[in-house]
Structure 1
């Protein structure tokens, strides 16, 4: 039987439920584990982490909305990630990690052999965390790194920190999706990110929703996609002080570029695709494992969900 999924949201987990989770992890019958916003004791959290450490099937782990709430839990998670070899996607959105928490996780995250997608939105990160994250975006010719990174709503990061990230993104040989929504970036940082997009050979999605941009930033992005080749497929500029006309122009140009690329791929033969398909676990997984009465028959996870997580966590 193919590994399934366990998804529980906003529940207080009993010892019996935690035991079921741990048994499933150790039996390698779980590909996705999501305990978003759940309450469990420190002892039970440690038990789940030991199950994660022993699992060979787990590919996606969702601990959003404050599940990793203390430095002690962060240490448990770091130990689990050091032992685990299978996780591709890790969601920690809404966890009060601070820079100290990311320092604790750094060794496990930077050396994990399979991790390619990481959500650190709403984690109260600062510039020290950015320094660590840049190490997970190695330049061309170096080891493989993250393909998808979410840093939504981390307002403590300074302009210097964002500039450092922009340089790392420009030289990253792997990154395809970058979500920076709901950070106070402004036009200056957006200009740096435009240079990063123009330099990157892999970045396909950039989310800048609600980041304090104006038409000045949008015009730079418009000039870039109009006059220079880029891998970018989607640029999210909603909830900024940008005219709908400029947003539509950028969207139309990106759509045209994707259509032309698809036609080129078809002309070269149906077996040739314009870009490599992502090898990490996609944000839509079907098939589940029942856990008491709280299991889900189908999992649909998207970045929109994590934007909602941001709203729930800050209320």
Structure 2
């Protein structure tokens, strides 16, 4: 059925198989997928509502957090609804334009998410290492410029990906062994020399991920050095508590992303294991970010409870 829809090197649709080898369990696998997606949407929408309606949270850290929450919503909504259609209705066909849009949004928005994490690390660095100038350095205008710069970086660096993919000939099949359209999954279907394209994608990923990770690590080295030089034990504990939330979020994002990216290019794991990990790195951080910040940040927690009607004003 899937192959009958493919007749030219430039098909109008691709066929997403879901998770090969686990087709019989698709309905059961859809339960955690759907639950995590609902939690992600509710949690991030609530986080955005809390930050928007609470004037005391209109500070750099929370404004960057709002940008992060929005990117989380985009990432999970780009993939999960189609994945659930595959699991529930065997609706496996996806138009090439929708497929390439998925490729762009997944990779570009993930790059933006990484950029916002760098911005949050920079905010904590200024707040702890140079607190007297924090409001002067991170003005609302500066925050807007940083946010816009992060968006432009992601769009410019990842923008070529869908255009490059659309030029490739797919001479053997249009069947994608995945739950969503992923750059390397499509590159591997092409019957052309894709070495330069793969090298470009790898270079972009290493540049973005490497630079961002180095900046974050450097920021937190300076932060920890400043924290442990504070004379008050209470001040040290408060600063470490604030930073620990950021560190947890960053670890949840960078480790699964790096593992998935490297294994797809150089690893030899079972396809269903790789695909499950590829979904985890897109699903798990959007679900956990609101929980981590909601639990560990009193201002967010109290306002969220008030919005949900669980705490009086």
The two structures share one fold, judged by TM-score above 0.5 = no
TM-score (norm 2): 0.26
Structure having the larger proportion of residues in helix? 2
More strand by share: 1
The normalised TM-score by structure 1 is: 0.26
